[in-house]
Structures are given as C-alpha cells and as structure tokens.
Amino acid sequence: MISKTNQVNTTSEFQAGEPVHINGLNIVCNVEKELGLGTQGKVYSLISPDNSLLVLKWYFPSMATNEQYDILKSLIQKESPSNRFLWPLALVKIPKKEGFGYVMSMKDSRFKSFSLWLSRKINPSFKTLLTACFELVQSFHLLHSKGLCYQDLSLNNIYFDPENGEIRIGDTDNIVINGEDKGNVIGTPKFMAPEIIIGKALPNTQTDLYSLAIILFYILFLNHPLEGKIESSIKSLDLPSMSKLYGFEPLFIFDPNNDSNYPDPTFHANALIFWSIYPDFIKRIFVRAFTDGIKDPMHGRVRETEWQIALLALRDSIYYCKHCGSENFLVTDYSVFEKLKIPVELGGINSDIKVSKQSSIVEGVQSNSACWNPKCKTMNTHILNIRIDDRLFIALNHDTKLFLHHIDPDRKYDFSNPVAEVSRHPTEPRVWGLRNLSTYPWIVGKANGDIIKVNSKQSFSLVPGTQIDFGTSKGMVCY
C-alpha cells in the first residue's frame, strides 16, 4: 500500500483489549473479541474480573435511539422471567463512543442453534426435542404472563442443549410491554404472523403465539408449515412471492379442507414422514394452530398452556422399539388416551378437527404400533404404561422417571425432583419395578387383591392391573 492510512474512525466500535466500564455492575471488563455483526449492532465477548461469561452488544448509531435506551432501562429494572432468558444486565455508555450498549450473560457453549438440528448436524432424541419445545412454550408463557411481548421470535434467537433439551433465549432487547408499540423490529420473515406481513398489526402477544407455533412445527417436522406444493412451484423465492406465501395467502400444508398446498414429496419429505409418525392428538393441535390460528388471530391461536399439555403428553408417550430401540409414540387401538379427558379444543377424541389423510408414500408406516424405522417396522405390542387418574398416561421405559407434575394435580409442570423411577429387580433382571423416590409411602394394590405398603427407596413389580395410591393421585399399571 503506498498511501499510509489513518486509523479508521472507530467511535462506535471496539478493539480487542479496550476497557469497558460497566457502572451498573460495578466492574471494568475488557473487550475480548468481536463475536458477530447483526442488523442492529455488533456483539463482543468480554473478559470480566471474576471470569463470568459476559457479552456486550453495542448498537449502530442509527439504532441507538432514545426509545431503545428506555426499553433497555426498563428491562434491566424488571427481573428476568427465568434463567432461560439472556436478559440485559446493565446499560453501558462510554465517553467519546457514539451510542450505547448493554451487557448480558453469554450462553454456555453447550447450547446450540436449532439450525444445526434442521441441517441434521446434531442428533437429538425426540425426548430432547420435546423437552426443548416444552421449555420454549413455558418460557414464553412466563414472559407473556408478565404482560411482556418478545416481538421478534424466530429460530435465530433460541438455542438448546442437544443432550437434555434445556434452552436459552437471546436477543431479549426487543422485549416490550404488550401493546405499547415500541421497539425497532416487526419480526423475521417466515416467522412473522400474516397480519403483520399484510400491514394490519404490529407485534403483540398474539403474534408471538403465531411465531411460537411456527418454531414448534419447524423443530418437530423439519419443514415450514406453509411450505408445500405452492412453495415448490415458485422458481425464485423473492420478497413479493414470500409476502404472498406467508402473508396474503397463507395455507397450511396439512389443511384438512384444502390440499392445494400439500407437501411435495420431493422437497417436503420431512413433513410427510413426521406427520405419519406423530399421534393424531398432536397433529390436531397443529391443524388448529395453522387454520383457526391464521383465520382468527385474536381467538383462534393455540395458547401456551394448551401446547404445554400436548407437548408433555407426547413426551410421556415415548417408548423404545423392542427390536431397534427407536423412539416411538404409544398409541394403541384400545388407547387409554381415548378415555382421557383431553379437552375438545385441545384436539381430544371428541373433537371434530380432522387430520388429513396419510400420503400414499408413507402409508402403512403409521397405523397402530409398527415401529417407524423403515429398516425395522417391528410391531410393538404390550408396552407397559401407567395411567394416572384418567388425566394422563406415561409409557414406562427402562429410564422413565415420574415427577410431581405427574402425580400431584396441584404441582403441574414441577419437574424439579423425580418421585419415582423405573428400576430393575436386583436378582431377577427380567422383572421391572417402580421405585419410590419420594419421602412418603405408597399404598399399592396388587392385581391379586393384596394391599402392600411401598416405602421410600423400595420398589414394587410392574404387573399390569396393579394400582398405586400416590396420596395426591391414583395410578394404574397397564399393558
């Protein structure tokens, strides 16, 4: 280079090593490195005095608005709804630097982007995915119940641990009080509710619910719920065609009354494969989310509490194929599920929400109890399960644990400590039992009529017909 260059003016940027005074936390950190460049600003990792993992997001001058500043200030005053949110911790202003930024916790490296799952670069289990889905729904329920709205929910700002499904939610700096119409963003294409795309609404709690349903469908079906034949007929997916597909003429790929956007087996095989594997009750709730949920944004959308019940019921129905070990979902012809009091609006058995017919290419995979694994297809019958108060049932696998959520109707969603686990007889490895991990004794009625007491740390044999009084509910072992 002939001309010697001056230092590029970096008044809105940071160099490695630069000190950052975080008055709100009473510490001084140093910039470690630039982590990324987004549409609103740049993100840097920080080296902190106590080695806590912190990142700094610094806004571009045009994004560093007074409104954004006020949003951050109010978020910092409120507490984070839970540790799942990477919440703003402190505002940062620096003399001679344009604009402002904020500090938040950095997510641990065990949390991965869902895009790695959609690209099949990681191999989580159904159980992990359903745990992640449940955590997402639960976290947004918590956020919304505080009157807050996320506004820009997409797969780009959520992460999960592929080992156990624990999640983290990033980009929390657009969270505002619902209805205040504050903030810079209206959402992310493909995740935005149709009413936003056509300009009839700004982000609100109801549009968050729509984005959430899109995310759940993406995670469980590896396909966008509106990308079927109509999408594959588009040669170049540009902005006008996207507005039509996701905004002006949205049509669910499994709409029971209109098959013109049915999945194209060449491009949407995932949707067909997964649709053939999941039980009807979960498909019904997705049908509702993308039919009524599109037609009626105010009243037609699936609520978080409904998703919670459905996702946990699906997770509890997982059993391992006895031949190949694949995770399957327990639905039998005489299904106890049919007798469960699943509300009609949740797609219960009396619901008239139809589920569209199976595609011919995957026909036969579904049905009753054949393993979905194309190389296996073993018929799995006599899957041990426990039915609780006609409220729910849980498939009993070698690694199943029961929680207060299952046995105490007043402690729904409490998964903090297991109260029971499937155990193996110490000398008779073919005999399986259920071990009492609670501190209270269970009263167990054996199939032959005998009544026994099972104390803490003791197990009883899992024999169909056995009844257990957990104190807060009653269980029955089924086959």
Partner 1 sequence: MTLPGGEISKRELHFIWIVDCSGSMRDDGKIQALNYAIKEAIPHMQRESENNIQANLLISALKFSTGAQWIIAPTRVNDFKWTDIEAKGETDLGQAFILLSEILRIPPMTERGLPPVLVLLSDGQPTDNFKDGLEKLLSEPWGRKAIRVSIAIGEDANMDILQRFIGDNERQPLLARNPESLTKYIKWVSTVVQTASARPKSQQKYYDGSISNVDIPKPPEMISGATDVW
Indicate the residue among 329 and 442 with the shorter CB distance to Zn ion: 329
- List binders of partner 1 among 197-216 (CB under 8 A): 202
Cα(316)–Cα(420) distance, integer angstroms: 14
Indicate the residue among 30 and 125 with the shorter CB distance to partner 1: 125
Listed in sequence order, the residues at least 6 apart from 440 whose beta carbon sits closer than 8 Å to its beta carbon are 456, 471
Residue of the chain from 107, 146, 323, 412 that contacts Zn ion (CB under 5 A): 323
Residue of the chain from 113, 332, 373, 472 that contacts Zn ion (CB under 5 A): 373
**Number of residues that make up the chain:** 479
Q: Is 365 in the site for Zn ion (CB under 5 A)?
A: no
Cα(58)–Cα(36) distance, integer angstroms: 11
Backbone angles phi, psi at 459, to 5 degrees: -120, 155
Name the binder of 152 from partner 1, Zn ion, none, CB < 5-8 A by kind.
partner 1
Q: Which residue has the tokens 């008779």?
A: 428
At closest approach, how far in Å is the CB of 142 from partner 1? 22
Q: Is 376 in the site for Zn ion (CB under 5 A)?
A: yes
How many other CB atoms are found less than 10 A from the CB of residue 253?
Answer: 27
Indicate the residue among 68 and 459 with the shorter CB distance to partner 1: 68
* Number of residues binding to partner 1, judged by CB under 8 A: 67
Q: Are 150 and 175 in contact (CB under 8 A)?
A: yes
- Using the contact rule CB under 8 A, the part of the chain among 187-195, 400-408, 438-446, 455-463 near partner 1 is 187-195
- Using the contact rule CB under 5 A, the part of the chain among 129-137, 167-175, 276-284, 364-372 near Zn ion is 364-372
Q: Is 16 in the site for partner 1 (CB under 8 A)?
A: no
Token pair for 471:
């104190």
Contact pattern from residue 49 through residue 68 relative to partner 1, giving x for each residue in contact according to CB under 8 A and a dash for the rest: -----------xxx------
Name the binder of 300 from Zn ion, partner 1, none, CB < 5-8 A by kind.
none
Q: Is 254 in the site for partner 1 (CB under 8 A)?
A: no
Listed in sequence order, the residues at least 6 apart from 436 whose beta carbon sits closer than 8 Å to its beta carbon are 419, 420, 442, 454, 455, 456, 457, 458, 459
Q: Is 165 in the site for partner 1 (CB under 8 A)?
A: no
Helix (H) or strand (E) holding 213: helix 205-221
Q: Is 410 in the site for partner 1 (CB under 8 A)?
A: no
At closest approach, how far in Å is the CB of 446 from partner 1? 35
Q: Are 157 and 170 in contact (CB under 8 A)?
A: yes
Cα(397)–Cα(420) distance, integer angstroms: 12
Pairing of the two strands 459-461 and 318-320: unpaired
Using alpha carbons only, how large is the chain's radius of gyration in Å?
26
- List binders of partner 1 among 275-304 (CB under 8 A): 277
Q: Is 324 in the site for Zn ion (CB under 5 A)?
A: yes
348-377 burial code (b ≥16 CB/10 A, e <16): beebebebbeebeebeebbeebbbbbeebe
Cα(352)–Cα(369) distance, integer angstroms: 24
At closest approach, how far in Å is the CB of 269 from Zn ion? 20
Q: Is 162 in the site for partner 1 (CB under 8 A)?
A: no
Pairing of the two strands 467-469 and 474-478: antiparallel
- Using the contact rule CB under 8 A, the part of the chain among 132-140, 266-274, 329-337, 379-387 near partner 1 is 266-274
Coil vs helix vs strand at 169: strand
- Using the contact rule CB under 8 A, the part of the chain among 44-52, 114-122, 209-217, 441-449 near partner 1 is 114-122
Q: Are 111 and 168 in contact (CB under 8 A)?
A: yes
Indicate the residue among 384 and 392 with the shorter CB distance to Zn ion: 384
Chain residues binding partner 1 by CB under 8 A are 1-6, 8-9, 11-12, 37-40, 60-62, 113, 115-116, 118-120, 123-126, 152, 154-156, 174, 183-192, 202, 222-223, 232, 234-240, 267-270, 273-274, 277, 324-327, 372-374
Chain residues binding Zn ion by CB under 5 A are 321, 323-324, 326, 371, 373, 376, 378
